[in-house]
């Protein structure tokens, strides 16, 4: 069975501070990992996926297979980063559904 754990329900930081949103997963094969972001009362949007190894809006995430983690990081948080962030996992071979973590609310204060 596949499982995604986001240990923090809420993460509150000040503008300019570094941010790390934690994501740990459980999956026996090679997973595909995603970070989705949901701004207030809006639809979920893809932020990052591990296979593209890109940086979006200053955020990066590295897949660590040894620690089964996919933490989301940003060196300097901005107020507009305040949102709900979901980590999601998909089985790597063929097609499978996404399993989402319960989400972490990020609040960036001025």
Of 44 and 56, nearer to other proteins (C-beta) is 44
Task: Yes or no: say if 50 and 63 are a contact pair by the CB < 8 Å rule.
Answer: yes
Closest residue by Cα to residue 63 from 25, 98, 92, 96: 25
Instruction: For residue 76, count CB atoms less than 10 angstroms from its CB and return exposed for 0-12, middle for 13-18, buried for 19 or more.
Output: exposed
Any contact of residue 2 with other proteins (CB under 8 A)? Answer: no
Query: Pattern 46-75, binding to other proteins, x per CB under 8 A?
Result: x--x-x------------------------
Per CB under 8 A, residues contacting other proteins are: 6, 32, 34, 36, 42-46, 49, 51, 86, 90, 95-98, 100-103
């Amino acid at each position: 069975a596949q499982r995604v754990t986001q240990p923090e329900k809420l993460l509150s930081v000040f503008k300019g501070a570094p941010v790390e949103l934690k994501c740990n997963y459980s999956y026996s094969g090679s997973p595909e990992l995603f970070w989705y972001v949901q701004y207030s009362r809006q639809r979920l949007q893809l932020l990052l996926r591990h296979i593209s190894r890109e940086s979006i809006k200053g955020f990066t995430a590295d897949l660590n297979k040894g620690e089964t983690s996919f933490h989301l990081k940003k060196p300097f948080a901005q107020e507009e980063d305040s949102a709900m962030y979901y980590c999601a996992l998909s089985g790597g071979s063929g097609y499978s559904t996404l399993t989402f973590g319960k989400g972490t609310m990020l609040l960036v204060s001025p």
